[in-house]
Amino acid sequence: MFIDLRVHSLNSKGVDSPARLLEEAASLGIRLGLCDGIAYDNALSGVEIKAESKRALIKALRTSWRNFDYVVVHGGEAKINRAATQDTRVDILAHPYLGRRDAGVDVVVARQAAQSGVAIEVDLQSIISAKGVARVRQLQKVHRILLLSRKYGFNIVVTSGAKSRYELRGMKEAEAILTSIGFTAKEAKRALEEVPREILEKKKLAKQEIARGVRLVED
Amino acid sequence: MRKRYIAFRVESDRSFTRDEVVRAIVSSALAMFGEAKVAEFNLFVLDFDEAEQQGFVVCSHRGVTEAIASLSLVSEISGERVHIRTLGVSGTVKALKRKFLNRKRHFINAESTVKFKGKEFVVVRESGDCCDALPCDEELIKRLKLRKMRFIGVTKSDLRGEEDAADA
């Protein structure tokens, strides 16, 4: 099952209510993570941190990382891409290529992401909504991230990046798009299903930590 | 050559004609895969029901992934945001119609003013628990315009919740 971890509802940048998005997700057979910075009871809740500097990012992480099921950092700027992949409290670096001519992931970011376990996000919406030359440039960036992932071993997580019900995609649809642009079937399945599950499990364990290396285990 | 039939449904804020849908699917496939590849997987829109906004395409059995990708990559038709949802794949038209094209999605046109999150909306159409509503708020209208949409999506339980809160 595709676990789509970056979807925005009416409560942040989207146009549909959380309940409507969950309804649409159920009909598509996918699981949704609402990245609104609100802790929902009935859905996976994430927060997307948009920071101007490394210091601001660390400050935002300190206050919010325990309150949500996963933490996403709004990427794009080189210094933020680097800072986010250094911090183990970050789960996903979203669209590192946003507003850039390159992929936003270089050798340093790739190594750091592999070491700290931060997943690099590729959003389907940036591919779907781009046309002509813009789509070619976007696919070049995705290929670069894919190549670096194969070499350095960091995780790629694919999300829809949806801000409306029409931007959500089902598992089969997302798999078809990914395999058409160069992912192997195994890589596509991992990016859509296994990596998000690992992120959620890792976060669950991290939340149980009461001190570094000490975890509270319930009977 | 073995064939595969793929059922799809166009989901959007308005209905489209067969011509508009065929043009969008073919240009999406050509833009993504090019003429040579599209000829190889033999994509062809066989049928489209304008009333139900659903239909099916045919392709070679080796080109199912590319055909599904071509459908999924359509993001807008005539300037309106859409999702061409793949309903299923089958080896015969008969089985495809039986399995995937038998369910109909009926929209009931409604016009009632409701309050949700302290803002006024006009519910335009309903289908099951889902409602499409026209916002009166400037900021939301701008947000919808940016996404090339007309209505925001809410559920009846959302609207009931607001009523309950208002009552309390």
Asked whether the beta carbons of residue A173 and residue B154 sit closer than 8 angstroms, the reply is no
Q: Is A8 on the interface with B (CB under 8 A)?
A: no
ipTM for the whole complex: 0.91
Rounded to the nearest angstrom, the gap between the alpha carbon of residue B122 and the centroid of all alpha carbons in its chain is 21
Distance CA A49, CA A121 (A): 14
**Confidence label for A63 from pLDDT (cuts 50, 70 and 90):** confident
Q: What is the pLDDT of residue B168?
A: 33
Instruction: Quickly state the pLDDT bin for B161 (edges 50, 70, 90).
Output: confident
Asked if B88 and B21 sit in the same domain, the reply is: yes
> In angstroms, how far is CA B129 from the centroid of its own chain?
17
pLDDT of residue A133: 94
Count of the separate structural domains present in chain B: 2
- For residue B143, what are the domain limits? 108-167
B19/B88 same-domain check? yes
Scanning every residue of chain B, which has its alpha carbon at the shortest distance from the alpha carbon of A185? Answer: B65
Q: Are residues B112 and B95 in the same domain?
A: no
| Domain boundary residue, one of B99, B127, B146 | B99
pLDDT in tens, A118-172: 999 999 999 999 999 999 999 999 999 999 999 999 999 999 999 999 999 999 9
For residues B24 and B80, state if they share a domain: yes
Best mutation target among B32, B81, B83 (most A Cβ atoms within 10 Å) is B83
- Could you say which of B57, B78, B99 is where a domain stops? B99
- Residues of B in Cβ contact (< 8 Å) with A180: 32-33, 65-66, 69
Residue A133 sits at the chain B interface (C-beta within 8 Å): no
Least Cα separation, residue A204 to chain B (angstroms): 29
Close Cβ partners of B96 (under 8 Å, ≥ 6 residues apart): B5, B7, B56, B88, B89, B90
Contact assessment for residue A168 and residue A28, using Cβ atoms and an 8 Å cutoff: yes
> Domains of chain A (ranges plus CATH)?
3-215 (3.20.20.140)
CATH code of B45's domain: 3.30.70.3250
Least trusted range by pLDDT, from A26-30, A62-66, B21-25 = A62-66
> Token pair for residue B34?
């090019």
Among B68, B99, B130, the domain boundary falls at: B99
Is B80 in the same domain as B125?
A: no
